[in-house]
Amino acid sequence: MATEHIARLIQNMLSPRRGERMLFLTDYGSKPSTSRHSRDGLLLRWHTAASLLAEHTGFRVLPIVKYAEASSPNAELPPTAVTPDGGRIDDLPGFIASADIVIAMTEHSASAPLKNIAKKAAHLRVVSMPGVTAEMEPAMATDYSRIADRGARLLTVVQAATGFEVAFDGAGVPRNTRLFLDTRASNWSLDAGICRMAGDFINFPSGELFTPLYEAATPEGRSIHGDSQTKGIWPVHSYKDRKVAFLHVEHNRIVRVQGDSAEAMRIIEDIAQDERNANVAELGLGINDAARCAPGVPVLEAEKAGPHIAYGRSDHFGSTGSQAGKVAASTHRDIVYTRSTPITATIHAIYPNGNRLLIAERGKVVVV
């Protein structure tokens, strides 16, 4: 994507205003990688495009800030960071909060800690781009007005549902493997690629609706809804060894991990490090038709292509008045189920009157 196209994209997405401060944020690790090299080049092109745009608009682009890579997706940010000119930042969360716009191009997702910082800094808006590479540019350049229209129509359909039944299909997955997701306290959000108002937060490339599940994590929530009804079998494919792990879920928690795949071992380790990571955290519905979903495509883009379910922390999703999104775990990992993944998901929304509506069929959102 040419510099002028990136500048136009930044203008359309963020509409930066005179006097605002724009911060580009990234992480660094001990080992070089192809994806990191690609992202560093993309970061420099975006920083250059933003700087050229700033000359005409009057906002300020700050030096790029780098911090030490976190151990897992959506872990808390470290307190310190550095700038290319040798500068040191001793209070990274505070420095982030002092900006008006943050664009984070990172290896591991920083969406959860950034969203929580933004909750306390009412003026701040954030674009989180974990695992972003130049290959995602077609998904970035899609027609977001069309996604916004489709998302608004889908939002009216899913908001009224009290739960979702997910049926899984794929090699190694027994027939009638199902997971029920309790959304009685749902807090649906639409990410349609627009981040122009104070408090806005998007993942980019964008194009999804998502909600935390009802977790029964607070006394008030339990007094209203009782125990969470999320339960069933949740299969997870491991690309490393082509095996399937089966997560046994009761009351919105992973209570047993069945299997010896690489993914099974990682999930067991996540829960061993922090038992709150057993929380079933999110249901997402990707609606960006330009998004790719294939082996090797980062989750940031793949999750915009269809349904996805996450475990771990959900506190960055929950609003003040909702009884969903209350678990402050140490990681948040998304598992994607599209038409291009080894395991697909067919999803029906369940309504209070018992009616059912097909939302996604074999990994493709079909209701709108």
**pLDDT at 34 (0 to 100):** 73
**pLDDT at 35 (0 to 100):** 75
What's the topology of domain 3-132? Rossmann fold (3.40.50)
Please tell me the pTM assigned to this model.
Answer: 0.88
Q: SS3 for 10?
A: helix
Domain boundaries along the sequence of the chain:
3-132, 143-365
Evaluate whether 185 touches 230 at the Cβ level (below 8 Å): no
Is the Cα dihedral 49, 54, 55, 57 positive or negative?
positive
**pLDDT at 24 (0 to 100):** 98
Rounded to the nearest 10 degrees, what angle do helices 34-57 and 3-14 cross at? 70
Nearest-angstrom CA–CA distance, 25 and 268: 31
**pLDDT at 171 (0 to 100):** 92
**pLDDT at 121 (0 to 100):** 94
**pLDDT at 130 (0 to 100):** 92
Q: What is the pLDDT along the chain (368 residues), one digit of tens a residue?
A: 889 999 999 999 999 999 999 999 999 887 777 777 788 899 999 999 999 999 999 999 999 999 999 888 899 999 999 998 889 999 999 999 999 999 999 998 999 999 999 989 999 999 999 989 888 988 998 999 999 999 999 999 999 999 999 999 999 999 999 999 999 998 999 999 999 999 999 999 999 999 999 999 999 999 999 999 999 999 999 999 999 999 999 999 999 999 999 999 999 999 999 999 999 999 999 999 999 888 888 899 999 999 999 999 999 886 777 889 999 999 999 999 999 999 999 999 999 999 999 999 999 999 98
Site of tokens 């993914």: 263
